[in-house]
Amino acid sequence: MPPPRLNLLFPRGIQKRTAFTSPTPTSFQVFNRKTKFLQRERAALLPSSTQTDYLKDEVSLRLTDRLLDIKRHFPQVLDLGANTCNIARALISHGPDVLSKIGHLTCVDSSGAQLYRDPDSSFQQLKDKMTREIIVDEETLPFEKESFDMVLSSMSLHWINNLPGVLSQINSILKPDSPFIGAMLGGDTLFELRTSLQLAEQERRGGLSPHVSPLADVRDVGGLLGKAGFKLLTVDVEDIVVDYPDTFCLMQDLQGMGEGNAVLGREMGAISRDVLLANEGIYRELHGNEDGSIPATFRVIHMIGWKEGGEQPKPLKRGSGEVNLKDILEQ
């Protein structure tokens, strides 16, 4: 009698269940998206909302600057997480050089108050070329596959819980050989506030609670883009340092931008006055400028990734080189 075959003893079904079942990829929940939504809705209604546009406008200007390097026309463009349509405003202030590259701009955001804060009249130059749409959540994009020639995103991705998921969704709604150009806060953003609040809470209350978001590092972003299927990656960092008269102005402006704390597991309620008082002294002593103002660093990560396809240049296969680099270098 022949020995029993292995796959009879271990039928495939059982093997699958025991050894190699990979769990469904779970994304870490870091931010309370509901809180963030409410903060941004309220922020847009604050009178200080327009006064605190400076940071997002500046980042959007720098982001749209990069369009000048791409010699192409983009019939359908998506602005994901548009805030107050900062990218549309940046495109207008760049003038016809950049505007002529855009066929149609779709600005989407989950917060209607942010999106529709400015009336249509302030986007005259983009009149017929721009639509605004409210989406339910920036983490699930309601668009058809391969429907955009370019996706832009400015100052929005740092509140996304599932960044890898959103990046691969962006990749799938792009047409082949189309770019994604994004900018978000990362790394050491607001490290001054983070450190001084930590010291203040430690001394006043003997413990810590998160006040500044954990943020993606520059090194992670390249890997994330690659995993989402983007090619020809460019990732770079810019520090924007803004000086404020005191820590209260800084925190008020952050609130006006809708960039308040929305970390899950944070302590509910306002920071106590004692901690704010202590924070003011420590911030100024640890980081303050000589002229009495205090600096706040915003580290912006810029990223460009291209969806694979078309006649896009690709790296040659490993080992296919015919010229010895050593010979060239020795010449």
Partner 1 sequence: MQQKTRPIQRFGQAVSKCTAEASVYGKCIVADYNHVYKDKCVNEFMKLKNCYLVRGPYLL
Residues that bind partner 1 (CB under 8 A): 47, 199-200, 202-206, 246, 248-249, 251-252, 273-274, 276-278, 280-286
Return d(Cα 278, Cα 86) in angstroms, integer.
35
Min dist. Cβ of residue 195 to partner 1 (A): 8
CB of 77 or CB of 294, closer to partner 1: 294
Min dist. Cβ of residue 279 to partner 1 (A): 10
Min dist. Cβ of residue 58 to partner 1 (A): 25
The alpha carbon torsion through 318, 323, 324, 328 (nearest 10 deg) reads -130
Distances (CA, A) of 122 to 60, 89, 93: 16, 8, 11
Min dist. Cβ of residue 277 to partner 1 (A): 6
Min dist. Cβ of residue 281 to partner 1 (A): 4
Min dist. Cβ of residue 198 to partner 1 (A): 9
Identity of the amino acid at 202 = Q
Enter the DSSP assignment of 185. E
CB of 188 or CB of 280, closer to partner 1: 280
User: Is residue 167 within 8 Å of 228, Cβ to Cβ?
Assistant: yes
CB of 48 or CB of 312, closer to partner 1: 48
CB of 133 or CB of 246, closer to partner 1: 246
CB of 41 or CB of 146, closer to partner 1: 41
CB of 130 or CB of 254, closer to partner 1: 254
Enter the DSSP assignment of 265. T
Min dist. Cβ of residue 270 to partner 1 (A): 9
The SS3 call for residue 97 is: helix
Query: Over 13-73, what HEC string results?
Result: HHHHHHCCCCCCCCCCCCECHHHHHHHHHHHHHCCCCHHHCHHHHHHHHHHHHHHHHCCCC
CB of 12 or CB of 273, closer to partner 1: 273
User: Is residue 61 within 8 Å of 87, Cβ to Cβ?
Assistant: no
Return d(Cα 225, Cα 33) in angstroms, integer.
22
Beta strands 230-244 and 102-109, pairing class: unpaired
Return d(Cα 83, Cα 108) in angstroms, integer.
8
User: Is residue 173 within 8 Å of 141, Cβ to Cβ?
Assistant: yes
CB of 229 or CB of 281, closer to partner 1: 281
Min dist. Cβ of residue 260 to partner 1 (A): 13
> CB-based contacts of 105: which residues, under 8 Å, 6+ apart?
77, 78, 79, 87, 88, 91, 126, 129, 130, 131
Min dist. Cβ of residue 55 to partner 1 (A): 19
CB of 239 or CB of 285, closer to partner 1: 285
User: Is residue 323 within 8 Å of 214, Cβ to Cβ?
Assistant: no
Query: Over 196-232, what HEC string results?
Result: HHHHHHHHHHCCCCCCCCCCCCHHHHHHHHHHCCEEE
